[in-house]
Structure 1
Amino acid sequence: MSTDTTAACLNCQQQLSAGSFCPNCGQRRPHRLTVGHVAHEVFHVFTHADNTILGYIPQVLFNPGRVVEDYLAGRRKRYFNPFQFLLLVLGLTTLVAVALHYYEATGLEIQQRLAGRMPAAELARMVQYFHYLGKYYNLWWLLLALPMYSLFTWLVYRSRGVNYAEAFFVHVVIGSAANLYSVLILLGIWLADLKASASTNINSSLQVVVGLLYLIFIGKHAFELSWPGAIWRAFLAVLLSMAGSYAINTLAFRWYVFG
């Protein structure tokens, strides 16, 4: 198999001139794969890992303020795509929750607690509600939680010049970290064989704590707020988000279970 190095770019069809990259789109000049090239690429993953998943995970977990600051300033090349990463993490969280029957166990525990105090049909729908909540957790988070959290954050921080898209990105980063921690917590809860109600409280508390702490550090480092300003804004944004989540969950639960 041969590769014509004088032909048009395989990505955008621009005629290639001298050099290693296409002058139009930046695509590297095509060449045939060799063992040496593959070995170099594998080595590159581990030695230049900032813009890979392996490099992005510690950045988003331990330095979210810098990630947000760099991304909003346009310094994005060094990072793995944050939006793609969030999708992957949400998929992993959903997979783990479904595999461990986390939400079903919560529904069954509540069903046992309320047995004899509610009609059997409503109890059955309640268990089914929790089943669907776990099965479609990723969609719920993307389509409802993420836009809502972003809205409240924008309302709180807009006086500092933050627009909705920037608030949205803040929660892409926070959501990635929170859901990574959730995976670890869910696995730990499963290994410890805790009751579903206890695990729900632990996981919910984790989400609140992560959201609060990360918003404080992002406000301080990315938005250049004072510590008092970063703290009160983070508390307000998290309280609004908690109230919004509670309202949506309550309405959805009552509509599905009680009709």
Structure 2
Amino acid sequence: MNTHGHGNCKNCNSLLGGNYCQNCGQAAHIHRYTMRHVLHEVFHSVTHTDRSALTFLWQILMRPGEVARDLFAGKRQRYFNLFTFFVLCTAIFTLSVGFSHYYEILNTSPMHWGDKNPWKVQQQLAYELMTSHGKMLVFSFLPINSLFTWLFFRRSKLNFAEHLVYNTVVFSPYVLFIAVATLLVLADHHLAGAINSAIQLFLLVYTSIGNRQLFHNNWFLTITKTLIIRFLSLLLIWTGAIMIVMWGYV
């Protein structure tokens, strides 16, 4: 095992001349995997103040639009990897809603539906889809929402890929918020409707803040556009998903 920075890099086989490979950056001294080493790496990646997942979560919660601008400007080394973070949030979401059975509970909640809900059948089907294909639907929200932010904020001159990055920034803490909030239903199933309202309110407030920071419209215009985008995104994705399911039934 190399301990003095000589020999060849274990990763790219380049000649070593110090503590790190000048070609790929890997450390010259590589430990054999042990449980202590694995636990240390996991703990370090989550909690270390330099580019950690928790630090990144705090950064995008406080200034989502500004973080997106940094990423567009090429200031990426200072942040935890965005797409890795989104995948982690989605994985936590999948485990959480599966464990809590949140959407099944919400789907059968009489307080949520009421006696005269004209969208009852469509919403029940939507919640069934979230139960069975939640991860797929979460991922599908990104390009659909990006399409509408691109259309409604054209003056920003951002391309579609940059809107996709921005929406990944915004949806990551939203998905994580759902994961945490849905666990509250385990304490009392009657909280399902209130939890759903809190989730929707969080997204509207948070995306309004992000849109304001990134696109610099006034608050009235920002909130109006945010509400319209949310409505159109939901309409498109649920209409498409429900039509696919109904076509499958036929």
Counterpart residue number, 2:88: 88
TM-score, normalized by length of structure 1?
0.74
Alpha-carbon distance in 2 for matches of 1:147, 1:159: 19
- How far residue 165 of structure 1 moved from its aligned partner, in angstroms, is 0.9
Name 1:23's counterpart in structure 2.
22
Deviations 1:140-163 (A, max 9, x none): 211x22211111111122332111
1:175-194 deviations in Å (ceiling 9; x for gaps): 11111111222122332331
2:147 to 127, 151, 173: 151
Aligned counterpart, 1:215: 207
CA spacing shift, 1:47–1:189, aligned 2, 3 Å: closer
CA deviation after TM superposition for structure 1 residue 207, in Å: 4.6
Q: For 1:220 and 1:100, how far apart are their aligned partners in 2?
A: 34
**Equivalent residue, structure 2, for 1:239:** 231
**Rounded Cα–Cα distance in structure 1 between residues aligned with 2:107 and 2:4:** 61
Give the secondary structure class of the aligned counterpart of 1:179. helix
- Percent identical: 30
1:29-60 Cα deviation digits (max 9, x unpaired)? 32558xxxx7x979976885241122222222
Match of 2:51 in 1: 51
TM-superposition CA deviations, 1:87-134 (whole Å, max 9, x none): 111111121111122222344457xx9xxxxxxxxx9xx989855532
Query: In the aligned structure 2, how far is the partner of 1:128 from the partner of 1:246?
Result: 9
The 3 A distance-change label for structure 1 pair 249 and 207 is farther
Q: State which drifts further: 206-215 or 166-175.
A: 206-215
1:134 paired with 2:131, answer yes
Q: Any unmatched runs of 5+ in structure 1?
A: 114-122
Computing the radius of gyration from Cα coordinates, the structure with the larger value is: 1
CA RMSD, Structure 1 to Structure 2 (Å): 3.7
**Distance of 1:134 and 1:146 partners within structure 2:** 19
CA distance in 2, matches of 1:76, 1:210: 27
Give the alignment of 1:1-259 within 5 angstroms: 1-3=1-3, 5-16=5-16, 18-30=17-29, 48-109=48-109, 130=127, 133-142=130-139, 144-194=140-190, 196=192, 198=193, 202-203=195-196, 205-252=197-244, 254-255=246-247, 259=250
Matched residues in 2 for 1:107 and 1:154: separation? Answer: 33
Over 3 Å counting, the alpha-carbon distance change for 1:23 and 1:224 in structure 2 is farther
Q: Distance in 2 between matches of 1:133 and 1:244?
A: 15
Aligned pair in 2 of structure 1 residues 160, 43: CA closer, same or farther (>3 Å)? closer
Contact 2:145 2:167 in 1 (8 A): yes
Residues 62 and 23 of structure 1: CA distance in aligned 2, closer, same or farther (over 3 Å):
same
Q: Tell which deviates more after alignment, 233-242 or 153-162.
A: 233-242
